[in-house]
Amino acid sequence: QAQVVESGGGLVQPGGSLTLSCAASGTIFSFYVVGWYRQAPGKQRELVAIITTGGITNYAESVKGRFTISRGNAETPVSLQMNSLKPEDTAVYYCYMDVLEMGGRRNYWGQGTQVTVSS
């Protein structure tokens, strides 16, 4: 069974930048869609950005032009570069992975990393 762990969250001032990374461990044969979701207090979890095996991306309208998702290697299959951060970007950010592993195709979520944008 795979494990997914996010890193890179923290406190940043408005206009600042952060890079989130997602590490994967376990016997994973391949990654399909990978990406990031977020959940702010009192709100539902929402899509931030996803990227397919072929490199096709999909971003939330609110982050277009500011965030960039990229695929990496097997150990760190996805990252999210966040620029021009706004207070409304404050949320817990979750890594999502759709993978092929020993038991077949499966989805995984990380435990989340807190991003706080505040002066």
* HEC string for the chain: CCEEEEECCEEECCCCCEEEEEEEECCEEEEEEEEEEEECCCCCCEEEEEECCCCCEEECHHHCCCEEEEECCCCCCEEEEECCCCHHHCEEEEEEEEEEECCEEEEEECCCEEEEECC
Average pLDDT, the chain: 95
Question: Which pLDDT band, with edges at 50, 70 and 90, does 10 fall under?
Answer: very high
pLDDT-based confidence at 2, cuts 50/70/90? confident
Sign of CA dihedral 41, 35, 20, 80: negative
Q: Is the pLDDT of residue 103 over 90?
A: no
Q: Residue 63 has what pLDDT?
A: 98
pLDDT digits (tens, 9 = 90+) for 51-100: 999 999 999 999 999 999 999 988 899 999 999 999 999 999 999 999 99
**In the prediction, which pLDDT does 1 show?**
82
Position 62 scores a pLDDT of 97
What proportion of the chain, given as a percentage, has pLDDT over 70?
A: 100
Taking residues 34-58, what's their average pLDDT? 96
